[in-house]
Amino acid sequence: MNDSLSINNEGNSSNNISNRGKRYSKRLVKKKRKVKKIFRYVVLSTVILLIIQGITFFSSSGKENDDSEYNSVNASSKLGESSNLIDESNILILVNRENKIDETYIPNDLVIPNVKFISKNSPNKMLRKETALQLENMFEDAKKEGINLLAVSGYRSYEYQKELYDKKVKRSGKEEADKYVAVPGTSEHQTGFVMDVLSSEYNKLDEGFKYTDAYDWLCNNMDKYGFIIRYPEGKEDITGYEYEPWHLRYVGKEAAKEINDKDITLEEYIENNNVK
Ligand SMILES: [Zn+2]
C-alpha cells in the first residue's frame, strides 16, 4: 500500500519539475523524464513482485500449520515399516525390531537434562529438549515425595548401539544379545526420547527395580510428564523385548495417559489410533 502511494506522489511532483525545467536545457528535462519513467517501472514491478511473493508465502505457511505433529503421526504409521518418509522427530515414532530408524538420524535439539545421573561420566546423558524438560520436572516432583530418581542412559548414537550390541554378542552369544540389546537401528535410545531410570535405593538395570518405591511412584505419576514403561511385563510378544521396568519412553502427556490407563503398549496405541 505504501508503495502505491509513492507512485501517486511521483505524478504530482512532476509539475514542479516541469516548472523548474525553464532553468535547464530541454535535453536535461528529457533525460530526467526518462529516468523518472524507468523509476516508475521499477517501483511498479517491485510492488507486483511483493504482492505475488506475499500470496505464495501465506498460502504455503497455511499448509505448514495444517501439517502439524498429529497429521504426520498418522502419515508415518500408515506408511509402515519400509517407508523412508518416517518422521524420526515425531514423539510417537515407533522403533522396534520391525521398524528401524535411519542409521544417519541424529536429533537436532539434544541437551543434557539437569538431573542426577548414576554416573558422572556417562557418555549418554543427552535427550531431546522437550523430553529433558519433562524429565527434570518429574525428577524434581519425585524428590519432593522422597523418591530419589537417577538417570542412567539417554540418547545413544547408532555407532554406540552397534558397539554395545557387538560386545554383548561376543560375550554372551547372539541369542542372549538379541534378548536384551537392541540391534543397531532398532534402539529407541537413538530417538532421544528415552531415558533409563533407576533410584538411589536400587541401582541395577534388572527386574528387581520393580519392587522399589521409586518404581511404584513412576507407575502412578510418569504419565503426567508424558512417559511410559516402553517394555511392560507380559507384553513381550508385542514389543519384542523382555520386561524393562527402567526404560522410560517419552510419548507426550496425551498418549502416555491413554497407554497407562488402558495398560497397553505403544504398538497397540498406534494401531488403535489408526483404526478410527
Ligand atoms: Zn533403555
195 within domain boundaries: yes
Grid cell in block for residue 40: 516508475
Q: How far is the CA of 229 from the centre of ligand 1 (A)?
A: 10
What gap in Å lies between CA 116 and CA 203, rounded to an integer?
Answer: 13
Note the pLDDT tens digit of each residue in 138-168: 999 999 999 999 999 999 999 999 999 999 9
30 within domain boundaries: yes
pLDDT for 276 equals 35
Q: Give the active site residues.
A: 244
pLDDT for 89 equals 83
Q: Residue 251: which of 260, 263, 241 has the closest Cα?
A: 260
pLDDT for 40 equals 76
Question: Does residue 205 sit in the same domain as residue 97?
Answer: yes
Q: How far is the CA of 131 from the centre of ligand 1 (A)?
A: 14
242 within domain boundaries: yes
pLDDT for 274 equals 76
- Between CA 93 and CA 107, with CA 254 as vertex, the angle to 5 degrees is 35
pLDDT for 122 equals 85
Q: Which residues of the chain have pLDDT under 70?
A: 1-35, 38-39, 41-86, 275-276
How many domains, in total, are found in the chain? 2
pLDDT for 19 equals 54
pLDDT for 159 equals 94
What gap in Å lies between CA 71 and CA 74, rounded to an integer?
Answer: 5
What gap in Å lies between CA 21 and CA 19, rounded to an integer?
Answer: 5
pLDDT for 88 equals 80
167 within domain boundaries: yes
12 within domain boundaries: yes
Question: Does residue 220 sit in the same domain as residue 178?
Answer: yes
Domain hosting 55: range is 2-66
Q: How far is the CA of 247 from the centre of ligand 1 (A)?
A: 4
Q: How far is the CA of 89 from the centre of ligand 1 (A)?
A: 18
pLDDT for 123 equals 86
pTM of the prediction? Answer: 0.67
